[in-house]
Structures are given as C-alpha cells and as structure tokens.
Amino acid sequence: MNNWKIPMILKPILSIKKLLIDQETKEETNGITRITGTIMIILSGCILYLDKIFLLFDITLENTHGWKDTENYVWHLCQTISPILIMYGMYLRAYSFALIVPLFCYVLQFFFVIDSSKTVDKGSTWLYVTGTSLGIMIVFSVVRWSLARVGKMKKLEIELMEEIIKADNHIFSDREDNNKEKEEEK
C-alpha cells in the first residue's frame, strides 16, 4: 500500500541521507585485521624517530638521494611513510585509540620544529606536548559528537518529511475517492 512518489525536490536529500546516515559496513571486520591496522598506526608514530636510532647506532647510508646526511634522509622518508601507514591502518578499521601515538609524536615534532633549541630533557616540553595532544583529542571528540548530533537531526528531519508526504498522499487519495463517489452519485 506504499505507492507514493517522492517529489523531485526531495530526491537529492534522500540520496544525501543514504550517504551520511546509512553508512554501514557491508562486512564485519575481524579482530586480526583490526589489530593489524592498530599496529600499523602505532608504528606510524614510532617510525618518526627512526632517524634517532640511526644516529644512536651510527648507521650511515652510502646513497642519501641528495639529502645532507643519513638522518635527514631517513627523517624525511619516515615523514612520508607515516601518513600512508595511518591511512592504511584506518582502512583496516584499526582501534581509534591507536591514533594517540602518531598524534603525540607529530605534536612533539611540531614543538621541536617551532623551537629547535628545546631538548627532550626539558620536562615542560613533555607537559606541553601532552596537553596539546589532549586538547586536540578533545576538539576532535566535540566535533565528532556535534556531527553525529547533526546527522541525527537530519535523519529525524527526513523521516518527518517522509511522514508528511505519506499523509499528503493519503489525504489526496481520500479526496480522489470522495470525488469519485460524488460523481457516481450524480
């Protein structure tokens, strides 16, 4: 009995609804896949300091592909590989808590890029990095919560529109039935 037509103006809204609200995974991600993704994300943060390990163990490369020294080459290489590992880890549906590691590492590097005279030994640096990382995570959580709330409101709005359309179609079909009955009486 549900043979009502969707007005043309609502079709884009309903397609957006399908994109934003009905985002369900077609298959469940198994635990091994999620753990693999989580490990990749944690590694993405750890490899950012691979240049320090090269320096500690006095490892040098013969070909640094034009970079000044091995540490610069390894650092830039890891800066390129790390986001790729993060994306691939998220594709594998990693546990979101793993993002804390690369976030912390990137914030730490940001502080050192801003003021390279700071050393790791300063306790305040770790405090600033921890505070900044927590602040970023709080902002992300608030944005995620806000977007979820907006999505729920949009879903409710679309459901209301669908109910109004159903009611209108029911009223119009009742009027048509009444008109037919009046014509038959004449």
> Is residue 5 included in any domain, yes or no?
no
**Number of domains observed in the structure of the chain:** 1
> Is residue 2 included in any domain, yes or no?
no
pLDDT class of 13 with cuts at 50, 70, 90: low
> Is residue 4 included in any domain, yes or no?
no
Q: Measure CA 8 to chain center.
A: 32
- Residue 91 lies in domain: 12-185
> Is residue 1 included in any domain, yes or no?
no
> Is residue 154 included in any domain, yes or no?
yes
Overall pTM surpassing 0.85 (yes/no): no
> Is residue 3 included in any domain, yes or no?
no
Q: Taking each helix axis from N to C terminus, what angle separates 31-46 and 70-91, rounded to the nearest 10 degrees? A: 160
pLDDT at 45: 93
Please, which residues have CB within 8 angstroms of residue 109's CB and are 6 or more apart in sequence? 48
State the CB neighbour count (10 A cutoff) for residue 61.
13
**91-144 residue pLDDT tens:** 999 998 899 999 999 998 888 888 766 555 567 888 888 999 999 999 998 998
**39-70 residue pLDDT tens:** 999 999 999 989 889 888 988 888 888 888 88
